A and B are shown apart, each in its own frame.
Chain A
Amino acid sequence: DTEVTQTPKHLVMGMTNKKSLKCEQHMGHRAMYWYKQKAKKPPELMFVYSYEKLSINESVPSRFSPECPNSSLLNLHLHALQPEDSALYLCASSQGRALYYGYTFGSGTRLTVV
């Protein structure tokens, strides 16, 4: 298995809702990442997990809450989002901190906040 699987592919949520995005990989990668991509812009890093511990938070608002329950699974919990949070959310993984191995990205979750 050489894939990063993200679910759901599409999500529409209201500003008072609570939802979660899920990311899974079975490549034995020990670093996992959340990126956010707005339309016609490059991806921007949100969080880095290394060996299931949060190592980087790029000053992301607390309405985004990451979780790494085990080495194969990464969640992003969403609460009280704003319409400007609508974007493509990409999960990625790498064998280490990608110094030598590069990244594998998932197909993303298209999030719309109404």
Chain B
Amino acid sequence: KQEVTQIPAALSVPEGENLVLNCSFTDSAIYNLQWFRQDPGKGLTSLLLIQSSQREQTSGRLNASLDKSSGRSTLYIAASQPGDSATYLCAVNGSSNTGKLIFGQGTTLQVKP
């Protein structure tokens, strides 16, 4: 059974700092991994999608890496801003039949001005 873990559960940093969020999964047989952002009480906004054959994806100040063999992904946020404050969720898609996403518990990020 696939399990997804995110560390740390919460993180508080000063504005301008570079930071890394971690995601690990127990079954390396995945099709892709997706990072989402969720603001309080809101829906999920897709940040980056990494296919199992890819090593990394970049979008603006965000860079996500994937090491499928070791079951790990990281989300790197450069030059953090207060507007980056949110909960970040990683989710793996490991099933060819259901398309079911398995989510981690999330990392709640606070960027202080």
Contact = CB atoms under 8 A, between A and B. Distances in A.
Interface of A: 6, 31, 33, 41-45, 48, 50, 55-56, 88, 90, 92, 94, 96-108, 110
A100 B31 contact: yes
A3 to B, nearest CB: 10
A45 B100 contact: yes
A43 B103 contact: yes
B38 to A, nearest CB: 9
Nearest to A101: B49
A55 to B, nearest CB: 7
B45 A105 contact: yes
A41 B105 contact: yes
Nearest to A50: B99
Interface residues of B, number: 25
Given A31-B99, A48-B98, A94-B99, A103 B41 contact: no
22 contacts: A31-B99, A43-B44, A43-B101, A44-B103, A45-B100, A45-B101, A48-B100, A50-B99, A56-B98, A56-B100, A94-B99, A96-B99, A97-B96, A98-B93, A100-B32, A102-B34, A103-B101, A105-B36, A105-B44, A105-B45, A107-B43, A108-B42
Interface of B: 31-32, 34, 36, 41-46, 49, 51, 89, 91, 93, 96-101, 103-106
A107 B36 CA distance: 13
B96 A99 contact: yes
A56 B91 CA distance: 18
Contacts of B42: 107-108
